[in-house]
Amino acid sequence: MFGKLIKLKPLSIVCRSLATALHAGVPIVRAFELASRKTSDPRLGHAMADITLRLKSGEDVATAMRAQGGRFPNLMIDMVNVAEHTGALPEVLRSLADHYENNLRLRKDFISQITLPVVQLVAAVFIIAGLFFLLGIVAASSGSEPLDVLGWGLTGASGAATWLTWWAMGVTGAFLTYKVLTASLVSKAATHKALMRIPVIGGCMRSFAVARFSWAFHLTQEAGMPVDDSLDASLRATANGAFIAAKPKVLADVMAGETLTDAITNTGLFPDEFLQIIDVAETAGTVPEALDRMSPQFEDQARRSLSALASALGWVIWTMVAGFIVFVIFSIALWYVGMLNDAVRESMGAI
């Protein structure tokens, strides 16, 4: 469920190292031996060492990589397989290094953009827990009943602990639920299609998928991969269940003689701007070149979508916190007004 893929950073470093060594004329077995010693990732080091042994026994690189139990991405194996037959392995490995470094940059941007909203949410949760605890202390010092702000019976230290436990269970449950829903392609496609209908979130997911598709299709076409295999690898490279699930339909349309533009238009997943670029490039016979030129723009668009998503999440979190603060203020005010009314009634009864 949680995958065995090697992380992007060590993978990009190894691809770069292999490309440099092979371009310099180092024998392929020796290049893999050197790469296996340089990596700091133990899983990658073991895989590279096993690949080296398999190369010495006469296997090709792609076959040796497939034998590593799913540690290498399918896109990498497919492209290495084509590169071995075309004699362009150094160039393909260098392009793969660029591709994985690009994905790594996008991932870092995502983490940096999403960090502030997450910190805000965590801070809000702990502030509310601290409020429960503080109100419990105030009530204990005054000998009165603690104020139940939410009306859920969460008061004092026990209420704060219950509140934090609920949040921990909710986050863990959401994470596990997402993992279960994306464990198979059918459920992953349905989940991602549903998420892509949500404003802002859907735009961000679509932008990332288009950027990855563009990179992968350019790389696979430059490597000399047949168009059907190239589309297969590129759609899988999006890591988006909706795009991957559309693969059989796209391949069937292309094999039936439809243009690439029509085939991907029928999926309903690609934005109009992207389709227009593909249409013009396909007429000129320069689709890979056009995607190569446009890739920086697609990456920038993904970053802008990410910024919009982070901004929206920030506003949602701040709105929730502000609404809760207003609710707490009114609850406390009504609590004190009730106490004053009770005191007035008692005094009037005594008179």
Q: pLDDT tens across 42-95, in order?
A: 888 888 989 999 999 989 998 999 998 888 888 788 888 888 877 788 888 888
pTM above 0.75, yes or no: no
Q: Which pLDDT band, with edges at 50, 70 and 90, does 181 fall under?
A: confident
Per-residue model confidence (pLDDT) at position 96:
85
The answer on 210 and 158 residing in a single domain is yes
In a domain, 3, yes or no: no
pLDDT digits (tens, 9 = 90+) for 292-346: 888 778 778 877 887 788 778 778 877 877 887 787 778 777 767 776 777 677 7
The answer on 278 and 170 residing in a single domain is yes
In a domain, 330, yes or no: yes
In a domain, 105, yes or no: no
Task: Give the CATH number for residue 207.
Answer: 1.20.81.30
What DSSP state is assigned to residue 224? Answer: T
In a domain, 268, yes or no: yes
Q: Which pLDDT band, with edges at 50, 70 and 90, does 173 fall under?
A: very high
Q: Which pLDDT band, with edges at 50, 70 and 90, does 110 fall under?
A: confident
CB within 8 A of 239, min separation 6: which ones? 209, 212
- Structural domains in the chain (count): 2
What DSSP state is assigned to residue 146? Answer: P
Q: Where are the beta strands (DSSP E) in 59-198?
A: none
In a domain, 107, yes or no: no
What DSSP state is assigned to residue 152? Answer: S
The answer on 325 and 235 residing in a single domain is yes
In a domain, 68, yes or no: yes
Domain that holds residue 235: 112-351
148 pLDDT above the threshold of 80 = no
> Where is the domain boundary, 98, 133, 161?
98
The answer on 280 and 183 residing in a single domain is yes
- 169: its two tokens: 């269970």
The answer on 60 and 160 residing in a single domain is no
The answer on 117 and 247 residing in a single domain is yes
